[in-house]
């Protein structure tokens, strides 16, 4: 809400829409609501689902699909519905786990690696794309609990304060 107020004060029209981006029809409905006189200029795909630490061989297909659906399904749908539309920004929130993996998080790591590959493909086509491989955020997000923070700290990753993360973005 604060960012929306700041942007509005600068004369920017801001619309915040939510839907399950893995549901192509729901996403298409959101995109269809964008007025012709106010074209879409930026997309931030920040959807994500994680699971408890589970070895891949102990996960069933449904559990893997749940984790992959939000990130990969959403990204696939955005690509299909936006095509080669010229945007000022197309940002995907990935995770450092997509770069170096994460014990017990194979599906989540794979989904995040996909987002990085998607960003590279978009850039190769001359389209805007930024993939941010976030570490943990302090006070918010998927690793905002003490156990998760300790797990990351043991591997040399300190959580980033939310205000710093958003400023750096």
- Check: CATH 1.10.260.40 for 19-134? no
Sign of the CA dihedral running 144, 114, 96, 57:
positive
User: How far is the CA of 116 from the CAs of 57, 65, 119, in angstroms?
Assistant: 25, 19, 5
Phi, psi at residue 83, to the nearest 5°?
Answer: 55, -135
Token pair recorded at residue 5: 């107020």
Each residue of 93-126: pLDDT tens digit? 887 776 776 666 778 888 999 999 999 999 999 9
Q: Which of 46, 59, 157 is nearest to 107 (CA)?
A: 59
Contact (CB, 8 A) for 21 and 78: yes
Whole-number CA gyration radius for the chain = 17
Contact (CB, 8 A) for 115 and 131: yes
Averaged pLDDT for residues 141-158 = 66
Global pTM value: 0.77
Each residue of 28-82: pLDDT tens digit? 999 999 888 888 889 999 888 776 777 778 888 888 888 889 899 999 999 999 9
Cβ neighbours of 35 (radius 10 Å)? 8
Q: Where are the domains of the chain?
A: 19-134
Contact (CB, 8 A) for 115 and 121: no
**150 band by pLDDT with thresholds 50, 70 and 90:** confident
Contact (CB, 8 A) for 156 and 96: no
What pLDDT, on the 0 to 100 scale, is given for residue 157? 73
């Amino acid at each position: 809400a604060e960012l929306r107020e700041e942007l509005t004060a600068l004369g920017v029209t801001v619309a915040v829409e939510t839907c399950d981006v893995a549901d192509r029809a729901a996403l298409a409905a959101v995109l269809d609501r964008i007025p012709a006189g106010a074209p879409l200029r930026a997309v931030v795909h920040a959807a994500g689902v994680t699971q408890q630490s589970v070895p891949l061989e102990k996960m069933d297909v449904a559990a893997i699909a749940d984790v992959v659906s939000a990130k990969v399904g959403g990204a696939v749908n955005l690509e299909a519905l936006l095509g080669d539309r010229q945007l000022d920004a197309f940002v995907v929130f990935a995770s450092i786990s997509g770069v170096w993996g994460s014990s017990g998080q194979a599906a989540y790591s794979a989904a995040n690696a996909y987002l990085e590959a998607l960003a590279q493909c978009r850039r190769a086509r001359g389209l805007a794309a930024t993939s941010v491989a976030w570490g943990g955020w302090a006070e918010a997000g998927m690793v905002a609990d003490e156990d998760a923070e300790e797990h990351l700290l043991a591997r040399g990753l300190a959580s980033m304060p939310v205000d710093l993360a958003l400023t750096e973005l």
